[in-house]
Every structure is written in structure tokens, then in C-alpha cells.
Homo-oligomer: A and B are copies of this chain.
Amino acid sequence: MTDGSRLEDARLDVSRHAARLFWEKGFDATGGDDIAAAAGISTRTVWRYFRSKEACVEPVLKVSELRFAALLKQWPMTESIDTFLARSMTAFASDDGFIRDSIAAVRILAILHREPALRSAWLMACHAAEMELVGVIAGRVSRASEDFDVRLCAASVTAAMRLVDEEISSAVINDGLRVSSEDATARIISAIRAGATLPICDAVA
């Protein structure tokens, strides 16, 4: 259940504080010193962990996508995406830490339109997720990870997830709508189906 190395965990912890501060005070009004103080480390260590201020949010943005990618790695060849996610999403999405990180991520996505720097962090996180998905998809269609069509499918599916994430985040935060977990799952499934450019969504021989 534990995610990455010790260093990654430390980074993620700092990232959570940064995300909260960016949400509460705005990106420009938050300094490296503020992040360091909130995380209980020295400013120097903040800059050791992250190459720039916007990169401070990458781990929180990545982690949800990456955890989802990790879930997809468990997706059996013999099962369609619908049945797989229907049975595994509930347990997955009710993990406590997962929910807290998701909320943090959703809040960042909702202010993307005001903060171009955060958008570039978000796109970098999506790019990392895309790289992970390549492996999943390669396995599912029994092709090499270098295969262009495999990479294209990973990119399209990632783009689909990105759009759903942005849309739901903006709806929930900016428009005050409420989105149930089932609804969100359904939209993700539908988007993945629409975005997949290779036959990965149904059971594979």
C-alpha cells in the first residue's frame, strides 16, 4: 500500500502544504518561506525537493493520477473496464488519504484558469501519468511500450482523464455542483472508452 521511496513521501508531504497554501492565499502571495514554515523544514530543503515554485504542487497532482494508473495495472485481461472499475473503485476511492489528496488536487484544478503557472504543473503531472499508462496499455494489447500506437493510446486516454478531471473540478468548486462518486466513475469510464484508440476497454483474449 505504501507508495514510493522515503524521499518521494517527504516531497508529497511538502506538496500537500504547498497546495493548501496556494488554494488559501493564491500562488503569487505564497512564498517559498511560507511553504517551508508550513511543512516544518528549511527553505533550502524546499528548493532541494522542487526545481521551481510551481513544481511544488506536482506530487499532489500526480499522486491521484498515478494511484489510478496503479489501480489499472491490476486490471485483469479478462475483464472489461466497466466491471473492473465498478467493483474496485469504491474501495479505492474511500481510502482516507486518497480523498484528502483528491480534494487538494481538485482545488488546484479549479483555479487553473487564473494561474498559468499551476497549469504547467498540472500538464507535467499528466505527462507523468501518461508515461505510466504506456506500460499498462502495452501489456493489455501485447505490444511494445515503444510502439507508436500504444503511446498514442496512452496519450489519448490521459487526455480524456485530464478533461474529466478539469471538468468535474470546475463544476464542483466553481459552480458548486455536487458530483457523486458513481457519477464520477461513470464519466471516467465513458471518457476512457471514447479516448481509447486501441481495443483495451473490453476483455482481451
Query: Mostly helix, strand, loop or mixed at chain A's interface?
Result: helix
Most B CB within 10 A of own CB, among A51, A117, A148: A148
Contact with B along A107-126 (1 / 0, CB 8 A): 00000000011011101100
The segment from A16-24, A37-45, A66-74, A154-162 that touches chain B is A154-162
**Cβ-based interface call for A172 (8 A):** no
Contacts of A116 in B (CB 8 A): 51, 124
Residue of B whose beta carbon sits closest to that of A54 = B120
Contacts of A197 in B (CB 8 A): 156, 194-195, 197
**Cβ-based interface call for A152 (8 A):** yes
**Assuming A120-B124, A124-B123, is B191 touching A152 (CB within 8 A)?**
yes
How many of these chains are in the complex?
2
**Assuming A51-B116, A194-B197, A195-B197, is B163 touching A151 (CB within 8 A)?**
yes
Are A117 and B52 within 8 A (Cβ)? Answer: yes
Expressed in whole angstroms, the Cα–Cα distance for A137 and B158 within the complex equals 20
**Cβ-based interface call for A13 (8 A):** no
Expressed in whole angstroms, the Cα–Cα distance for A197 and B156 within the complex equals 9
Residue of B whose beta carbon sits closest to that of A156 = B156
Expressed in whole angstroms, the Cα–Cα distance for A51 and B160 within the complex equals 28
